[in-house]
Amino acid sequence: MKQNEYVPFLSEIIEVIRHTEIEYTFRMKYLGDVKPGQFFEVSIPKYGEAPISVSGIGDGTIDLTIRRVGKVTNEIFERYEGGRMLLRGPYGNGFCLDDYKGKELVIVAGGTGVSPVRGVMDHFACHMPEIQSLTMIAGFKSPSDILFRDDFSRWSQRARVILTVDSGGGTEYREGLVTAYIPGLFFTDLANAAAIVVGPPAMMRFSIQALKNRGLEDSQIWISLERKMCCGIGKCGHCRINDTYVCLDGPVFPYAKGRALID
């Protein structure tokens, strides 16, 4: 048979990082090219295949942040270091970093939506001269849901980072929705602003509205969509919206195109 896109390859698990009770990052060995915002189809033992965004790109490694689902036990997640996992990918277009170079970039992310933009943050946080300014507004349900805690403190040394939780913030965290911080965003030149919005549907909808109210045009906003992508290669049909296949044409869309996509 010809080159079989469905057959996964084995990848070594270099490290497992536990963020929360149910969320873990697997640092996997991977030598090919990959862009932030792309995803891999990951075979999760006892569960099946799931599309997982690349949450980090290292030297010969990729990070995959996986939320434990259903009745899958901790055991699988914790005894995995040194083991291997089946992957295929990367799939999707990913973020094109050039789109944001020289811009005043704002990244608005909610929950696991931080995963696909983590690579973008990392890149610009390390290459600040490539960008005019960098702001991240990230929201989680509660402090125990916060992903990439260490990254936020690292990024905050270079960029403006607003970390907020829906509730239970106490004295340590801000409380409130990410949308609350959008009206107060400062841009030296609004026409040079760019925004990326990733997260649950409602959060995205309100954030985009807030950005537009702040004066951004549709063409200055990018989004990344999360859909049930079974195959990743335009066949299974689950991620199709209108004539667009999120797995092939996305998951990253300029909002000017993305806004026309109605499920």
Partner 1 sequence: MGYSLSTEALSEVFKHLSLEYDLYAPRLYPKGGAFSDTDLVRYGKISSPEEIVLHEKSRFSWKETLLPISQTLFYFTEGSVLEPEQEQKGAVIFLRSCDLHALKRLNHIYLQNGPEDPYYRDRRDKLRFVLIGCKEPFSSCFCVDMGTNKTDGYDFSLDWEGDFWQIDCPNTEWQELFRRHAVCEQAVSPSYVTETKTRVHIPDHLTADVIKSTIWKEYDSRCIGCGRCNFVCPTCTCFTMQDLFYTDNGKAGERRRVWASCMADGFSDVAGGGSCRKTCGERMRYKVLHKALDFKMKSGFQMCVGCGRCDDACPEYISFSHCLNRLPEAIKEVNSDEAE
**What residue ranges bind partner 1 (CB under 8 A)?**
1-8, 10, 43, 45-50, 67, 69, 76, 84, 86, 112, 200-201, 226-228, 230-231, 233-238, 240, 242-243, 245, 247-248, 260, 262-263
**Among residues 70 and 170, whose Cβ is nearest to partner 1?**
70
Nearby residues of 172 by Cβ (< 8 Å), 6 or more positions away: 143
Name the minimum Å distance from CB 232 to partner 1. Answer: 8
Name the minimum Å distance from CB 45 to partner 1. Answer: 3
**Among residues 2 and 98, whose Cβ is nearest to partner 1?**
2
Name the minimum Å distance from CB 11 to partner 1. Answer: 12
**Residue 48 is inside which H or E element, if any?**
strand 48-57
Three-state secondary-structure class, residue 69: coil
**Among residues 56 and 110, whose Cβ is nearest to partner 1?**
110
Burial class from Cβ neighbours inside 10 Å (0-12, 13-18, 19+) for residue 1 reads: exposed
User: Do the annotations mark residue 236 as ligand-binding?
Assistant: yes
Dihedral-angle region of residue 153 (phi above 0 means left; psi in -120 to 50 means alpha; beta otherwise): alpha
Q: Of the candidates 105, 98, 129, which has an alpha carbon nearest to the alpha carbon of residue 193?
A: 105
Locate tokens 């907020």: which residue? Answer: 164
CA distance 15 to 229: 26
CA distance 231 to 48: 12
Question: What are the tokens at 41?
Answer: 């189809």
**Among residues 7 and 59, whose Cβ is nearest to partner 1?**
7
Name the minimum Å distance from CB 50 to partner 1. Answer: 7
**Among residues 67 and 160, whose Cβ is nearest to partner 1?**
67
Name the minimum Å distance from CB 193 to partner 1. Answer: 29
Q: Which residues are annotated as a binding site for [2Fe-2S] cluster?
A: 231, 236, 239, 247
Q: Which residues are annotated as a binding site?
A: 231, 236, 239, 247
